Structure 1
């Protein structure tokens, strides 16, 4: 498909992303190169994993993604290319970046990058920019059809993949709880891991819900909110519960920023519970 999509925590303030573009264009000037994001918080593997889940399945099959959030660059961590069950390819360090794809889309095959073949010529003494020298180079070669997937390197057991700890939602007769996985960055909406269908087994649209948010067992937020279809069902500045674009339950303030308003955060240690109000 000649589609290459890049994700990093590099930002845009220097030439790192441009260097990756340059390497890919040296491999093939017919590639179509796009950005997923370069705004992943530094070293935040969890968020890199989630943003891939948010995006990958909306691209055509055989699209190649390069994801570089790599605090262990140069160490013994593996460099891999995964083939998802949906037919996409992900080039990444094996550090947990593929956790959410493994859980929600499925990983069909996993290969270690053979750097004797798939590494930018002349870069063997560069130990801290594998995003350019190994991942962009390998991803571009795969996307351009210069190598096929079997030529990436040796196949390894999918179950050997490094995975981050992920908690599953818990459901009782009166309550459902989960984690606040990430935020909708521009707007500060809180995206949870609670699926809509599980939530709606307990709570319907228009109903009041008791919400509690904790971090390391300390309560940061408690309120009663309604479960609404869209933001404008409440007044500007009012909070609501809604279904996000991944069909999970989320919290927002209409024309506001929930994350900043209450000094909250995201990640597996941020817990949320929803209790039906009788």
Structure 2
């Protein structure tokens, strides 16, 4: 069976752009199966693309070919690449920071720059603003169909040259964590910069009520007790809960409510979160 091609982008779903990418794959090989992660990533948000991949890629079989296109530098000298991950999957993407979380959490085994003379759709070679279709989807389809091998993608370059953005980290010690809110999920829950696995190392246990403060240097937006539980159903409707999120990181949310809106938190503000025993 040929590998599935799985796509994400910031293209939106109110135009034919995504359909063009699916169609390009079918032009290369009509038997290919294509699926979507999302095409509603925030426009130009490379970090969001990187974050989304790290919790999606592990749940697809080895050999899956991922296409990620959040590409504000389209048509410029930024590298168009195919990365082979240490779990056996491939990511076809601009090398602009998109590989950051995958490099840290799975590892990039090798990376090659796409040879545009051989692995770009030549019928649109005068178009330089839709590499999602003409370069990334096309090359991904050739790779997934077996028309080219990874070695035939283009010239290999050192993994040390991969463009990486800074990953927020956390201070973790016995019964204490200091982290930041790195993003909010679609329900308004605050995703922290501490991995589920590292939070356990601090010695916290399910059922603990923890003292949590959230704020900036100038203002606290929350200072109180929140239980650490398995899921939302362990607290009452509208109540807050700390839990291990599916996206790898400890998260604070509210049962059937929007945590961010509840405490009037600005998504453009950097909030520090401190967690300790009650």
Q: If the length of structure 2 is used for normalisation, what is the TM-score?
A: 0.93
CA distance in 2, matches of 1:134, 1:274: 46
CA distance in 2, matches of 1:263, 1:96: 30
Matched, 1:161 2:162: yes
* Long gaps (5+) in structure 1: none
Map of 1:213 onto structure 2:
214
Map of 2:83 onto structure 1:
82
Structure 1 segment 138-177 matched on structure 2, within 5 A: 138-177=139-178
Map of 1:198 onto structure 2:
198
Map of 1:134 onto structure 2:
135
CA distance in 2, matches of 1:197, 1:169: 12
Structure 1 segment 1-278 matched on structure 2, within 5 A: 1-185=2-186, 187-200=187-200, 201-214=202-215, 218-264=219-265, 269-277=270-278
Per the TM alignment, residue 265 of structure 1 is displaced from its structure 2 partner at its CA by 5.4
Contact 2:67 2:137 in 1 (8 A): yes
CA deviation string 1:45-85 (max 9, x = no partner): 11100110010011011100000001111111110000000
Q: Which stretch has the larger CA shift, 76-85 or 176-185? A: 176-185
Per the TM alignment, residue 123 of structure 1 is displaced from its structure 2 partner at its CA by 1.7
Contact 1:229 1:243 in 2 (8 A): yes
CA distance in 2, matches of 1:264, 1:48: 23
CA distance in 2, matches of 1:45, 1:206: 36
Change (3 A) 1:259 1:268: closer
Per the TM alignment, residue 264 of structure 1 is displaced from its structure 2 partner at its CA by 3.0
CA distance in 1, matches of 2:60, 2:268: 26
Q: Tell me which stretches of 4 or more aligned residues in structure 1 moved more than 6 Å.
A: none
Q: Which stretch has the larger CA shift, 148-157 or 203-212? A: 203-212
Change (3 A) 1:268 1:70: farther
Per the TM alignment, residue 260 of structure 1 is displaced from its structure 2 partner at its CA by 2.5
Contact 2:168 2:182 in 1 (8 A): no
CA distance in 2, matches of 1:111, 1:218: 47
Per the TM alignment, residue 136 of structure 1 is displaced from its structure 2 partner at its CA by 0.6
Change (3 A) 1:217 1:22: farther
